[in-house]
Amino acid sequence: MGSGPPGSLLLLLLSSLLLVSNTVKCATGESSFIIDTVGLSILPKDNVQSGTEVKIRCDARVSSSNISQLGYLFEFMRDGVEIHTANTTEDSTYYEINPARAVDSGNYQCKVSVKNKRKFSNTKTLDVKGLQTPILHLNNSTPYESEEFKVTCSAPDEKGSLTFNFYKTFRDGQPQRIKKQRSTNNFLETTVTLSHIGDCFLSCDYEIILVSGPTSSNVSNEIQVKVKELNIVPYMTILPNDIYEPDIIEVTCKVQIHLADIEIFLLKDRAVLNRTTGKPLIHRFRPKPTDSGELICKTEWRNVQKENYKTLKVKEVFSKPQLHLEPVDVFEGERFRLNCSVKVFFPQMFDPKTLKYHLYKDGTQLISSATYVAVADRNRNGIYSCKVEGTRISTSFHKESETVTVKAKVPVSDPVLNVVGGKIFVGKGFQLICHSHTGTFPIVYTLFTHNGKKMIRKL
Ligand X SMILES: *[C@@H]1O[C@H](CO)[C@@H](O)[C@H](O)[C@H]1NC(C)=O
Residues that bind ligand X in the complex, under the rule CB under 6 A: 66, 71, 73, 85, 87, 130, 133, 139-140, 148-150, 191, 218, 274, 276, 281-284, 324, 326, 339, 341, 370-371
- Where b means 16+ CB within 10 Å and e means fewer, 402-412 reads eebebebeeee
* Phi/psi at 158 (5° precision): -85, 160
| Residue among 66 and 438 whose Cβ is closer to ligand X | 66
- The DSSP H or E segment spanning 11 is helix 6-28
| Residue among 130 and 293 whose Cβ is closer to ligand X | 130
The residues that bridge with 309 in the sheet, in sequence order, are 296
**What's the min distance (Å) between Cβ of 344 and ligand X?**
13
| Residue among 326 and 329 whose Cβ is closer to ligand X | 326
The span from the CA of 191 to the CA of 139, in Å, is 10
Start-to-end CA span in the chain (Å): 123
| Residue among 371 and 440 whose Cβ is closer to ligand X | 371
**What's the min distance (Å) between Cβ of 290 and ligand X?**
19
**What's the min distance (Å) between Cβ of 14 and ligand X?**
25
Rounded to the nearest 10 degrees, how much is the dihedral formed by the CA atoms of 189, 193, 197, 201? -30
| Residue among 196 and 337 whose Cβ is closer to ligand X | 337
The span from the CA of 223 to the CA of 227, in Å, is 13
* Phi/psi at 43 (5° precision): -120, 140
User: How far is Cα of residue 327 from the mean position of the Cα atoms in its chain?
Assistant: 59
Give the contacts of 440 (CB within 8 A, at least 6 positions apart). Answer: 409, 410
Give the contacts of 159 (CB within 8 A, at least 6 positions apart). Answer: 101, 103, 104, 186
**What's the min distance (Å) between Cβ of 321 and ligand X?**
11
| Residue among 339 and 440 whose Cβ is closer to ligand X | 339
**What's the min distance (Å) between Cβ of 274 and ligand X?**
4
Give the contacts of 7 (CB within 8 A, at least 6 positions apart). Answer: none
**What's the min distance (Å) between Cβ of 337 and ligand X?**
8
Q: How far is CA 398 from CA 315, 325, 349, 386, in A?
A: 15, 21, 16, 10
For 18: left if phi > 0, alpha if psi spans -120 to 50, otherwise beta; the answer is: alpha
| Residue among 324 and 407 whose Cβ is closer to ligand X | 324
Pairing of strands 364-367, 356-361: antiparallel
**What's the min distance (Å) between Cβ of 278 and ligand X?**
11
**What's the min distance (Å) between Cβ of 73 and ligand X?**
5
| Residue among 89 and 379 whose Cβ is closer to ligand X | 89
| Residue among 40 and 342 whose Cβ is closer to ligand X | 342
- Where b means 16+ CB within 10 Å and e means fewer, 119-132 reads bebeebebbbebbb
Which 3 state secondary structure label does DSSP give 249?
strand
| Residue among 37 and 140 whose Cβ is closer to ligand X | 140
| Residue among 345 and 430 whose Cβ is closer to ligand X | 345
User: How far is Cα of residue 147 from the mean position of the Cα atoms in its chain?
Assistant: 20
**What's the min distance (Å) between Cβ of 275 and ligand X?**
7
**What's the min distance (Å) between Cβ of 85 and ligand X?**
5
The span from the CA of 442 to the CA of 284, in Å, is 56
**What's the min distance (Å) between Cβ of 155 and ligand X?**
10
User: How far is Cα of residue 114 from the mean position of the Cα atoms in its chain?
Assistant: 62
CB 33 within 8 A of CB 67: yes
| Residue among 106 and 321 whose Cβ is closer to ligand X | 321
**What's the min distance (Å) between Cβ of 75 and ligand X?**
8
